[in-house]
């Protein structure tokens, strides 16, 4: 038997061992806790926060686009996008199914064996039934494919859009039915007029970003600033009260009023489409400007796409979103001769009634240039040179002006640089700088060859002369209004006094000769079929040879047919510029009207003058003298 003292010693040793073990365990636990809190803590807290926190985006409503009379051209309609966080969804489904099977008393081994399959079944059910719910209600247009949805549910990502443009009520029902599916706010951009003015307006992408036209160039103005907030959610997707934070309200986009006139734009587009069919041309385009302001009233070209239709099918059929009136320059031909006329009148080098002995050809700058018709020496007045569209007479006047002064006037009229209109992809055209002019350059430019310009640039030249010689940079934006109704500042267009008011009035009056009709033919102009009954009109025809890509020389069969004019000439209100690309016959019904785009000017000008009740012009008693006796 052990002595009490020995027993006490054993107990003491045991107590020390136990205390030591307890101390070691305590130190280990404290150390582990400290390690978790100090080392792992921030990372674990971040992961927990990432799992709980949801960032919600409140999209700003895109501003509407209207014409000058308030007619809607583009506006936004509310819809929903069905979205998921695939990785989080699958994780939460696994947790939910695991818990349910444990509650049901399923053994652990069976749970592990069946868990993946149960999650897969749920995903397949969602992918199969969501399209059915959408299609049964007609919530969107187009087909929703189950395979596409299943691929997104299985994606290794934190955010996927299952379906866009869903009716809000249907989206809410789907979100309530299926765990992890959110009905996010989405805006659908509507274009109520289809293809009308779409070359100007453009469209937005599925993500709401401007892609073409004003939607692209004005994206920052129209789009606004999205709002944002953060809120924690439980494992079943329910919001945790009191966790809403970092709330930044959305700022809606501003609305833009364009200078376009929807009725006029519609008429011009339809007229051009019919002219293309009548003439069997490749394309046609037109621009209408307000003389006093330089505002674009219509800007149209053929084959404009309808954003509400099947885009791929339309693209395959040759339609597009391009605005060719500002992006596709071409040689203007004789329509540009008005620059030579204005420059020589302004410089006092000729008068409208001066008689010139015009031969059938002229040798200038190392090349020989002839008129479009063979003739001997003819006594043309300055007015007659342009009314008859004589290349030779125009170059005779250009020689008086000289290369440097002619180049200066081209610059004053804005040739060779963009107009600055508030639209994307505007071309500056093509004008060789004076220092690069070769021997034949000065024999081409005064008659509208050797340079290229857009239909808008061409219209701008005529606007300057119709507006007492002051060129106003064309503008397509009338006003911008903030969401709260506050008018926003719009940059005023630049103004340039190109020639004096006296010169401008004289030139506009001279170019009435182009549309003059003389029963005897002697004093007739080249665009008599562009005249508007009851009104004085002024303008110029143009026929520019295209370059044959096979020979590199000017073609004798392919042309750009142009016309630009002013209506009425005695009180200018409108400028109309037209181009038809490679017409095979006339632009009028049945191919009539000759190889001229003057009839299109006549139809557009007539429509405007009639619609706006413009008083008829005073009758003209005497014909302008083109061919002196």
Percent of the chain whose predicted confidence (pLDDT) is above 70: 93
pLDDT > 80? residue 159: yes
Q: 501-507, long-range: CB within 8 Å, 24+ apart, which pairs?
A: 501/468, 501/469, 503/342, 503/345, 503/346, 503/469, 504/342, 504/464, 504/465, 504/466, 504/467, 504/468, 504/469, 505/468, 506/345, 506/352, 507/338, 507/341, 507/342, 507/345, 507/465
Query: Which residues have a Cβ under 8 Å from the Cβ of 165 and sit 6 or more positions away?
Result: 79, 81, 140, 141, 186, 188
- What is the rounded average pLDDT of the residues 192-201? 95
Candidates 260, 217, 213; CA nearest to 70 is: 260
Specify the pLDDT at position 502: 98
The answer to whether residues 386 and 364 touch, using CB atoms and an 8 Å cutoff, is no
User: Annotated catalytic, 390?
Assistant: no
Burial 139-158 (b: 16+ CB within 10 A, else e): bbeeebeeeebbebbbeeee
Tokens coding 618: 């005073």
Specify the pLDDT at position 41: 58
Q: Give me the residue label for tokens 């930044």.
A: 248
Specify the pLDDT at position 236: 60
- Predicted confidence (pLDDT) per residue in 574-620, tens digit: 999 999 999 999 999 998 888 889 999 999 999 999 999 999 999 88
pLDDT > 70? residue 5: no
- Predicted confidence (pLDDT) per residue in 413-454, tens digit: 999 999 999 999 999 999 999 999 987 899 999 999 999 999
Length of the chain: 629
Q: Give me the residue label for tokens 């959610």.
A: 233
Specify the pLDDT at position 78: 80
- What is the rounded average pLDDT of the residues 74-94? 89
pLDDT > 60? residue 140: no
Distance of alpha carbon 499 from alpha carbon 267, whole angstroms:
33
Distance of alpha carbon 498 from alpha carbon 247, whole angstroms:
55
pLDDT > 80? residue 554: no
Distance of alpha carbon 42 from alpha carbon 46, whole angstroms:
6
pLDDT > 70? residue 403: yes
State the DSSP code for 436.
Answer: G
Distance of alpha carbon 83 from alpha carbon 145, whole angstroms:
15
Instruction: Report the chain's mean pLDDT, rounded to a whole number.
Output: 89
The answer to whether residues 224 and 251 touch, using CB atoms and an 8 Å cutoff, is yes
Quickly count: other Cβ atoms within 10 Å of residue 427's Cβ. 18
- What is the rounded average pLDDT of the residues 501-508? 97
The pTM for the full model equals 0.81
| Percent of the chain as helix, strand, coil, to the nearest 5 | 40, 20, 35
- Predicted confidence (pLDDT) per residue in 534-548, tens digit: 999 999 999 988 887
Where are any strands of DSSP class E within 365-456? 367-370, 378-381
Distance of alpha carbon 46 from alpha carbon 43, whole angstroms:
5
Residue 378 bridge partners (DSSP): 358
Specify the pLDDT at position 467: 98
How far CA 283 is from CA of 269, 311, 493, 616, in Å, comes to 12, 20, 30, 33
- Predicted confidence (pLDDT) per residue in 483-498, tens digit: 999 999 899 999 999 9
Distance of alpha carbon 499 from alpha carbon 484, whole angstroms:
43
Query: Which residues have a Cβ under 8 Å from the Cβ of 277 and sit 6 or more positions away?
Result: none
Burial 430-442 (b: 16+ CB within 10 A, else e): ebeeeeebeebbb
**Rounded to 5 degrees, what are φ and ψ at 548?**
-75, 115
Specify the pLDDT at position 103: 86
pLDDT > 90? residue 378: yes
Domain architecture of the chain: domains with CATH: 327-472+488-602 (3.40.710.10)
Assign 396 a pLDDT band (cuts: 50, 70, 90): very high
Q: Which position among 334, 390, 596, 597 bears the catalytic label?
A: 334
Burial 519-530 (b: 16+ CB within 10 A, else e): eeeebbbbbbbb
Specify the pLDDT at position 281: 95
- Predicted confidence (pLDDT) per residue in 106-139, tens digit: 888 888 888 889 889 999 999 999 998 888 766 5
- What is the rounded average pLDDT of the residues 359-370? 91
- Predicted confidence (pLDDT) per residue in 209-244, tens digit: 888 999 999 999 999 888 888 877 776 666 778 777
Quickly count: other Cβ atoms within 10 Å of residue 13's Cβ. 10
Instruction: Tell whether omega for the bond before 559 is within 30 degrees of 0, i.e. cis.
Output: no
Specify the pLDDT at position 43: 60
pLDDT > 90? residue 271: yes
pLDDT > 90? residue 61: no
């Amino acid at each position: 038997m052990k002595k009490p003292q020995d027993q006490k010693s054993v107990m003491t040793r045991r107590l020390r061992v136990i205390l030591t073990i307890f101390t070691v365990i305590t130190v280990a636990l404290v150390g582990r806790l400290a390690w978790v809190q100090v080392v792992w803590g921030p990372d674990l807290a971040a992961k927990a926060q990432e799992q709980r926190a949801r960032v919600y985006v409140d999209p700003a409503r895109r501003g509407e686009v209207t014409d000058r009379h308030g007619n809607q051209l583009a506006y936004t309609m509310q819809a929903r996008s069905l979205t998921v966080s695939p990785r989080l969804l699958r994780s939460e489904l696994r947790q939910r199914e695991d818990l349910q099977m444990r509650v049901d008393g399923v053994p652990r081994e069976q749970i592990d064996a069946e868990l993946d399959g149960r999650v897969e079944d749920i995903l397949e059910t969602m992918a199969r039934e969501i399209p059915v719910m959408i299609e049964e209600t007609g919530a969107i247009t187009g087909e929703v494919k189950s395979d596409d949805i299943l691929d997104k549910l299985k994606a290794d990502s934190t955010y996927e859009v299952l379906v866009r443009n869903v009716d809000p009520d249907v989206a809410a029902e789907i979100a309530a039915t299926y765990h992890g599916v959110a009905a996010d706010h989405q805006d659908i951009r509507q274009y109520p007029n289809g293809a009308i003015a779409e070359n100007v307006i453009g469209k937005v992408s599925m993500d709401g970003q401007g892609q073409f036209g004003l939607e692209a160039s004005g994206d920052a103005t129209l789009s606004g600033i999205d709002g944002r907030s953060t809120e924690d959610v439980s494992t079943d997707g329910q919001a945790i009260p009191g966790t809403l934070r970092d709330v930044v309200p959305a700022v809606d986009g501003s609305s833009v009023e364009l200078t376009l006139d929807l009725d006029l734009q519609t008429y011009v587009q339809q007229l051009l489409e019919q002219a293309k069919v009548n003439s069997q041309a490749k394309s046609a385009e037109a621009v209408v400007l307000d003389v006093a302001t330089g505002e674009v009233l219509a800007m149209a070209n053929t084959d404009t796409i309808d954003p509400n239709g099947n885009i791929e099918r339309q693209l395959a059929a040759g339609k597009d979103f391009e605005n060719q009136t500002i992006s596709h320059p071409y040689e203007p031909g004789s329509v540009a001769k008005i620059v030579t006329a204005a420059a020589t009148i302004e410089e006092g080098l000729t008068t409208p009634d001066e008689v010139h002995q015009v031969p059938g050809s002229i040798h200038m700058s190392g090349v020989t240039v002839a008129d479009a018709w063979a003739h001997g020496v003819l006594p043309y007045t300055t007015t007659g040179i342009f009314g008859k569209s004589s290349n030779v007479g125009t170059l005779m006047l250009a020689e008086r002006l000289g290369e440097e002064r002619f180049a200066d006037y081209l610059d004053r009229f804005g040739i060779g640089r963009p107009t600055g209109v508030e639209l994307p992809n505007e071309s500056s055209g093509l004008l060789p700088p004076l220092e690069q002019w070769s021997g034949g350059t000065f024999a081409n430019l005064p008659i509208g060859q050797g340079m290229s310009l857009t239909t808008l640039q061409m219209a701008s030249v005529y606007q300057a002369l119709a507006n007492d010689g002051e060129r106003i940079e064309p503008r397509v934006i009338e006003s911008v209004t903030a969401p709260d109704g506050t008018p926003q500042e719009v940059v005023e267009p630049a103004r340039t006094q190109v020639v004096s008011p006296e010169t401008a009035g004289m030139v506009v009056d001279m170019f009435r000769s182009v549309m003059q009709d003389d029963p005897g033919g002697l004093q007739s102009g080249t665009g008599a079929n562009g005249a508007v009954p009851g009104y004085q009109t002024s303008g110029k025809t143009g026929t520019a040879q295209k370059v044959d890509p096979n020979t590199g020389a000017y073609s004798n069969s392919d042309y750009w047919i142009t016309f630009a004019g002013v209506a009425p000439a005695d009180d200018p209100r409108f400028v109309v510029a037209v181009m038809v690309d490679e017409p095979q016959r006339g632009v009028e019904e049945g191919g009539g009207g000759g190889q001229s785009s003057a009839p299109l000017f006549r139809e557009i000008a007539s429509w405007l003058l009639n619609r706006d009740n413009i008083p008829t012009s005073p009758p003209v008693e005497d014909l302008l003298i083109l061919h002196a006796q």
